[in-house]
Amino acid sequence: MRWLVATAALISVVVGAAAARAERLTVALSMAEIKVDSSFDGAPVTVFGVIERDAQTVPRGGEYEIAILVTGPPESIVARRKDRILGIWMNRASEVFLGAPSFYAAGATGEINDLAPAELLKRFRLGFDNIGFTYRGRVGRDNPAAAEFREAFLRIKQREGLFSQQAGSVDFIGNAIFRSTVQIPANAPIGFYQVSVFLFADGALLARTDESFTIARTGFEQLTFAFAHDQAFIYGIVCVMLALLTGWLAGVLFRRD
């Protein structure tokens, strides 16, 4: 009797695994590395994808929906609020965002909030409403006490071109091939970027896959960056000497006799 129960359990696991593999995503990026030099003014990264279905999968009633999320290296950042005190604007209250994405771009075939239940969207941080910021000294994500700073942070990041969300930014080319282009601005931080692609249907997550690319300095910018970090003391002395030399030359060139 026990072997019958064990066999039934094994069959259910195998069937469940097969169902989980009913749809699979294959994704490729147009570039694996973006090199930044003095003339860098941004670059597009195109995400190509294919939905592969098991031959035995029963056709679904609903249409496929794709969401793409690109996030940059995490950062901890201080947000401050200025208040007017005795006619002078001064920094007063502040919040420290812990591990916030330095870059965030979310796109989908339709409206992001319509893809799946709110709990699922929050789990994968899809859409501005679902990012879930944490703050130093506050319990939980998106603590209501820091709501004012959260809105200000999102507003500033959008103004800088570092945060975006777009409905309809993922296009299907045929029934199972899709693509989307994410614009990386010139002020995008250096580091590792994760690209997550999600496949939904009827509000359920069917598949997910991750890719990545990096943004790296090159040429003179990279040499300067490495020198400043590896030889900070010498770099400081060189900067001071260059400043003194520049001031002296300016005095010589614009001196009136």
In a shared domain, residues 42 and 154: yes
The pLDDT of residue 98: 95
The tally of domains found in the chain comes to 2
* Res. 172: pLDDT tops 90: yes
* Res. 11: pLDDT tops 50: no
Contact (CB, 8 A) for 162 and 102: yes
In a shared domain, residues 154 and 241: no
Q: What is the C-alpha separation between 122 and 174, in angstroms, rounded?
A: 30
The pLDDT of residue 90: 65
In a shared domain, residues 234 and 212: no
In a shared domain, residues 161 and 190: yes
In a shared domain, residues 196 and 225: no
Compute φ and ψ for 121, nearest 5 degrees.
Answer: -65, -40
In a shared domain, residues 79 and 90: yes
In a shared domain, residues 152 and 99: yes
| pTM of the complete model | 0.76
Contact (CB, 8 A) for 49 and 178: yes
In a shared domain, residues 110 and 233: no
Q: What is the C-alpha separation between 198 and 24, in angstroms, rounded?
A: 10
Which comes out higher in pLDDT, residue 193 or 16?
A: 193
CATH number for the domain spanning 203: value is 2.60.40.3880
In a shared domain, residues 226 and 156: no
The pLDDT of residue 3: 39
The pLDDT of residue 257: 56
Q: What is the C-alpha separation between 56 and 82, in angstroms, rounded?
A: 62
Task: Give me the mean pLDDT over the 30-35 stretch.
Answer: 93
In a shared domain, residues 59 and 149: yes
* Res. 245: pLDDT tops 50: yes
What are the tens digits of pLDDT across the range 181-235? 999 999 999 999 999 999 999 999 999 999 999 999 875 555 565 555 666 667 5
In a shared domain, residues 210 and 230: no
In a shared domain, residues 138 and 248: no
What are the tens digits of pLDDT across the range 48-89? 999 998 766 655 656 899 999 999 999 999 988 777 776 676
Q: What is the C-alpha separation between 107 and 161, in angstroms, rounded?
A: 15
The pLDDT of residue 170: 96
Domain residues for 243? 219-257
CA dihedral angle for residue 232, residue 233, residue 235, residue 241, rounded to 10 degrees = 160
